[in-house]
Structures are given as C-alpha cells and as structure tokens.
Amino acid sequence: MPAGPVVLAGPNGAGKTNILEALSFLVPGRGLRRARLAEVARRDPGAQIDDFRRDPGDAADGDAPVRPWAVAATVDGPDGETDLGTGLGAGTEGDGEKRQVRVDGETRRAQAVLSEYVSLQWLTPQMDRLFLDGASARRRFLDRLVYGRDPAHAGRVGGYEQAMRDRLRLLTARGSFDDAWLSALEATMAERGVAIAAARLDMAGRLAGQLEAAGDGLFPAADLAVEGEVEAWLAQGSALDAEDRLKDVLKSARGRDGGSGRTAHGPHRSDLHVEYKSRGRPAADCSTGEQKALLISLVLAQARLQAREQGRAPILLLDEVAAHLDADRRAALFHEIRSLGLQAWMTGTDPDLFAPLAGRAAFFHVAEARVRRQDP
C-alpha cells in the first residue's frame, strides 16, 4: 500500500467503514465504533449456529453466535517492517473481551504493545457530537492523541482502569474487604492516575502551542484545557503530592463508592475543554461546521507535532469527512495531508470529492464488501 493518501469510494453499506474499523484495531482500545469484540466479525446470514462458537454472555438469547476474527498488517516504521496481528480467537471468552495480539508471530500479553508500532488517529461522523456529548468521549479522544507521542500511556490507562474495576469489585462484594489489598489497588490508581493526568496536560499544552504557531486559518486555532481535580492538584504542587491526595480521597470514599458502584475521584472523571480561540467561544457553542473544523484542526496539529518530534506522522482514518467540508476546506485538508507525507485513509460515496488527489492518492472502489483498485 502506498504511503500517501488512500481513497475508499462506494455506496452506503458497502463496507468502507468496516475497513477503517479493521485498521483501528491495530492500536489499543475497542476500535473506532467501540463495538464489543464479540460483535466485530462479519456474520453470514446463511450460517448455522453450530458453525461457530456462541458468546456465553448471549447464551440466553439463543440466537447470538460469535465468530473468531483477526486483523493482520505489515507496518513500516522507523525500525523497519513489523508484522502485527490482533483479534478474538476461538479460545477467547466472549464476556472477557480480551484481544489476542501478535508481533512478528510472537504472542504478546497486552494490547498496549501495539502503540509501539502503530499510531492512528480517526474522525467519524459519530464524533461530530464530541463537544456536545459526555466527557468520556473527549477523554478517549485526548488519550488517543497522547498515544502517538507516548505509547506507554496506553498501558497506564489500561492499568488504571483495571485497578479501578478490581477496587470496585471488592467494595461492592458482600462481606468484609481486605484493607491491604484495597490500599495496594488505590496506590496503583494514584500512581498511574497522576501520570495519566500529567500526560494529558502536557499534550493539551503542546497542541495549543502547535495550533498557535499554525495560525487561525480554515482550520482554526483553539485554546485547550484539561479540567479535573487531579489536574488541579498538579497545578498546585508536585506529582508526589497529587498521588498522596488521590490515595487519601480514594480511601475516604470507599463507603460511598461501594454503595454507588462508581468511583467518584480520579482522572476518569476529567474533561477536555476546547475553545475557538479567535472567537472566544466554547466549542460546544460553535456551529456544526465550526466544530468539525476544530476537530480536524486538533488532529492535524497532533500529526504535525508527532512528525516534528518523532520524524513520523500518524496514520489518519477519516470516515466521510470530505462530504461535510466546503471546497476550500477540502482543498486545505488534502494539502495538509500531502505536505505532511502521511498515510490517510478517507471514505466517501462520491469519488468526485477527491478529484484534487487524482494522481496523488490510491483510489479503491468498495461495493458489496469487495475492494478493487480504481483509477480516479
């Protein structure tokens, strides 16, 4: 596959987004659709239930079979080519939703290792509400931006979330709990949680500087702030002080957290605030077009930052982005992709929208779940 832009054109429902989703599993997480892993595999309407494994979590339904699936790719990075593979194997428990990962044929225990080899950013139509919906989507978006600069961030996030789940399981279980075990889990949450918050703050600051340097053009500059109690503690003192404060509040909140089944303190409750800089207006109050431009601006700023600091830009997955931009912004986006020399996978129903990339991108036609090379 060429290193430059890739255009996937075809009718709705042809499978274009499925290709992007497959690529999105080459980094840690649940992919661009955030689907349950047991639901990712393509289902054959004519298949019999006995033809493949049933998901134990859906056994009561009697009609929810699950098939193993896998994604494989050869990536060309700074250290040469690497063969990556990931998926839900036949022996994987459906409820656990634990992905299997292989690097050059060797099985790895944690999917966080994928961040060492691939950096991906994506924009989908569902993300058009990023500034309007809940904070969890904005945290995931910011964390993906951090992964590109700091692959270890994925492991910290995964470790923090696992410790948080284990702590809640103890707090909500019947009977007395082990104080020493809870304290150890809370120490893990504090250490990793503060590191997560610090990395998010660092990325927000770097992105703001990159946006300021680029100026306020068709993709506008933005002010960014990560808001949360852990971030506030870091602004007031050292990381060690913040860790101690988080351990203390977690310990004091055990009874309340156990009763509610939710953890009330930590970076999992932080939020990313974005403001259209030249207008002095929160992104949530901007028009739909302005919000889309701000999203693209953030992704491009991260790509420029990563290219400058690491010598390689991330792969971009842009689902139906061109259709929602005017001609000037489409041209600006294509120019930025070309000037950065990055690989961007773009989908659309109208190939004419990508005409400026003729001779500069690989064009493919997608129809009925089949892909073929096509001249623009």
Per-residue pLDDT tens digits of the chain, which is 376 residues long? 667 899 999 999 999 999 999 999 999 888 998 888 888 876 654 443 333 333 434 444 444 455 788 999 999 887 889 999 999 876 544 445 678 999 999 999 888 899 889 999 999 999 999 999 999 999 999 999 999 889 899 999 999 999 999 999 999 987 677 899 999 999 999 999 999 999 999 999 999 999 888 776 789 999 999 999 999 999 999 999 999 999 999 999 999 999 999 999 999 999 999 999 999 999 999 999 899 999 999 999 999 999 988 888 899 999 999 888 999 999 999 999 999 888 999 999 999 999 999 999 999 999 988 999 987 6
Can you give the pLDDT at residue 20?
95
Q: Quick one: DSSP state of residue 356? A: G
pTM: 0.85
Instruction: Give the pLDDT confidence score for residue 110 in this predicted structure.
Output: 85
Instruction: Give the residues across from 347 on adjacent strands.
Output: 8, 319
Strand order in the sheet with 222-227: 222-227, 271-276, 281-282
How many Å separate Cα 283 from the centre of its chain? 20
8 Å CB contact between 224 and 272: yes
Alpha helical stretches, state H, the chain? 16-24, 135-149, 152-172, 179-214, 229-236, 239-252, 254-260, 288-310, 327-340
> Taking Cα atoms as reference points, which of 251, 311, 298 lies closest to residue 127?
298
User: Distance (Å, rounded) from C-alpha 21 to C-alpha 122?
Assistant: 10
Please classify residue 364 by burial: count the beta carbons closer than 10 Å to its beta carbon, then call 0-12 exposed, 13-18 middle and 19+ buried: buried
Structure token pair of residue 122: 């994506």
Work out the number of other CB atoms within 10 angstroms of the CB of residue 259: 10
288 contact partners, CB below 8 Å, separation of at least 6: 128
